[in-house]
Each structure stands twice: as C-alpha cells, then as structure tokens.
Amino acid sequence: MNTFKAGKKIKSKKFFDTKTKMMCEHAWEWAKKEGAMNVGEGDALWRTGLAYIAWKEPLMKEGILECYRPFGENYHFKNKMYQASRHTGRYGEDDVSRDQTIMSLAALKVNGDLEELDEIASHLPYRLSRRFVMGPGMWAWVKTLTCNKHIKLYTNITCGLGLIEKSIAIGLNKLIAPICGFKRNVIKNNDYTSRVHYDLKEKWNGFQKQLSRAYYPGFAFHLACWEIFTLPEDYNPLLRKLYTKLMLSYCEKENYLCRLLLGDKTVTWEEVENYNPREGFRWQAYLDGSWSNYNGEKSQEWKDKYLKWNQMDKDCLITIWLKVRKIDSI
C-alpha cells in the first residue's frame, strides 16, 4: 500500500495539486518569498518526475508533458523544438535546469511512455534555457532516449564521458573530504540530521568553506544514477560496466535507492521496509555532512502529522526495489 493522496487540502509536507498537475511542497517558513507561490515551484518538474515514478498517477504524466512547450517550424526557428519549464504555466522557462529535465525524462522512460519521450527528446535543444545548457554527457544521454538508430554509439558516449567526469569528481571528493571533515558510511539513514552539516560548517575556516564548494554533490550523483538506470536495457558494453562499477564504489551503503539504480540487488526488503521517510528527498544527499538536505530537524509529532501522506522518498524506493527485482508486489 502506497501513501499517495491527491489534493491541496490534506495536511502533508508534499501535496499533488490536481489543478496544476504538479507535485508540490509547502515551503519552510524561513524559505518563503514574498510574491512567490511558495509551493516548491522551482523544483516542481523534478519532484513530479520522482512522484510519477513512485505512484504512476496519470495526471502527473500530463503535468510533465505540459511542462514541455513546442515551438519553432516558423520564420524564426526552422526546426521544431521543445522548451521545458520548472512548473506548468511556463513558470521558470528562463532558468530551467538539467535537474528538472533529467528527472522528468527519466520518469517517462521508467514508466514506459516511449512515444512521448521520443517526441520530446528528439526535439530538445542543447540550450535548455537562457541560463543552462545540457552539457555533452547529458546531450548524449538524451539521444539514448530516442528511437535513433545510433543508440549504441550514444550509450558509449554517455558512459565514456561519465567515466571520465566522475573519475575526476570522485577523486577530488576524496581529497576534499578529510580537509572539510566529511566522513562517509558512518551515520545511518534514520539517525542523520542536518546538524551534522551545520556543526561542521561552524568550524570551517575560509579555505575550507571555499573548498567545500568544489565537492561533487549528492544531488548530481543521484541524477547520474537515474541516467545510468534508464540507458538501454539490452546493451551493456564495457564502458557502461566500468562506469557503473565506479559509481557503485563511491555510493554510500545507506543510499539504497542509488544502489538499486546502479544494479545492486543486495539491498534487502528489510532495509527498505525499515527506512523512515524524511523531510527532504534523502536519496539525493550524502550523509557525510557535505550538505544539510534539511532532515531530522522536526519533532516526531510533526513527522506523524505531515509525513503521513505522500512519502515520496520511501515509496519511490519501494517502486524501484520491486522493479529491479521484477516483481509486482510483496
């Protein structure tokens, strides 16, 4: 039984707005901005992608598709293209990022919406918005989502570039971690709080603060895992094996979702079942203190009230565990 419940009127940190067709969340008091919707609109497409994977609600698919506006085939733009947005209603078109785009396209791939996926991915411009571009690695990955006859080539390009990029990033992380006090595989999922990060940060000098900004972040690692998971199932070349092996070697033991996305079938049902849902999306953060991810800050009374419904982190974990195991339910 999943925890999904639609509607804006329920008492829940995260809620699905059936009007906008977006998975939203109430902003923390300290994060609210005057004149804004304050429903997590900036990350709505990313969040809706994850929610669609977790619960496969048809309206979520509609919301994702509505975030891609077709344009072109006219005097100004010869070819047909799609402009992504952070939220339905063309919100955030000027600065929509790779995070939003990757997670929404991955959701369509996971749920088998291949016709719509091919249509969007085949016409997605390299420049996602005025602020962000895909980058070579993402560009090659997007090509693997299409019905292109060169899928194998693009898969190898994706994995080759990923292997080079992540080798450098992980190598730098291993140099930065002891200087900033980051310790991996020490804290358990259910024990982690944001204080781990803030306590470290209070002790940093100027050099450590600057150095911490070069740390390859957990949210980027999480997105890379989805890219690997959604590569063609029937093609597993050497570059893909090496890339996956590198990512698994760096993946935290407690990050059950990323381990599953990287093909680690040793994650047990007991581990999945005993995981307690958190305030934020736990799987996109390291537990080494490098990022707060605002977890473990609220009382148990608050959690019982506002995390009762729409436990996206746990339900997404369950969905992928079942999918990797190729079973319908447990």
224-229 mean pLDDT: 98
Integer Cα distance of 166 and 160 in angstroms: 10
- Sequence-distant (≥ 6) Cβ neighbours of residue 7 within 8 angstroms: 15, 16, 18
pLDDT digits (tens, 9 = 90+) for 122-135: 999 999 999 999 99
Closest by CA to 85, choosing from 71, 72, 100, 99, is 100
User: Sign of dihedral through CA atoms 26, 28, 34, 36?
Assistant: negative
- Is the pLDDT reported for residue 30 higher than 80? no
Contact present, 97 and 45 (Cβ < 8 Å): no
pTM above 0.75, yes or no: yes
Q: What percent of the chain has pLDDT over 70?
A: 100
Tens of pLDDT, residue by residue over 73-89, are 777 778 899 999 999 99
Note the pLDDT of residue 33.
Answer: 84
Confidence of residue 278 (pLDDT cuts 50, 70, 90): very high
C-alpha 114, offset from chain centre: 20
> Backbone phi, then psi, for 82, in 5-degree steps?
-125, 135
Backbone angles phi, psi at 274, to 5 degrees: -85, -5
The pLDDT tens digits of the residues spanning 139-188 come to 999 999 999 899 999 999 999 999 999 999 999 999 999 999 999 999 99
pLDDT band at 115 (very low <50, low <70, confident <90, very high): very high
Reported as a single tens digit per residue, the pLDDT across 247-259 is 999 999 999 999 9
Q: Which residue has the tokens 């944001």?
A: 194
Q: Are 185 and 252 in contact, with CB atoms under 8 Å apart? A: yes
Place of tokens 């890339």: 243
Q: Return the bridge partners of 71, or none.
A: 81
For residue 273, what are the contacts with CB-CB under 8 A and spacing of at least 6?
A: none
Residues contacting 229, CB < 8 A, separation 6+: 106, 110, 261, 262
Residue 103 phi, psi (nearest 5)? -70, -35
Instruction: Compute how many other C-beta atoms are within 10 angstroms of the C-beta atom of residue 81.
Output: 18
Closest CA to 86 of 75, 77, 74, 99: 99
Angle at 65 between CA 61 and CA 71, to 5 degrees: 175
Hunting for tokens 């148990």 — which residue is that?
300
Residue with tokens 């890219």: 227
Q: Where are the domains of the chain?
A: 1-134, 155-297
At residue 317, the pLDDT reads 98
User: Which residues, at least 6 apart from 161, have a Cβ–Cβ distance to it below 8 Å?
Assistant: 136, 137, 140
How many of the other CB atoms lie within 10 Å of CB of 37? 17
* Residues 289, 293: Cα–Cα separation, whole Å: 9
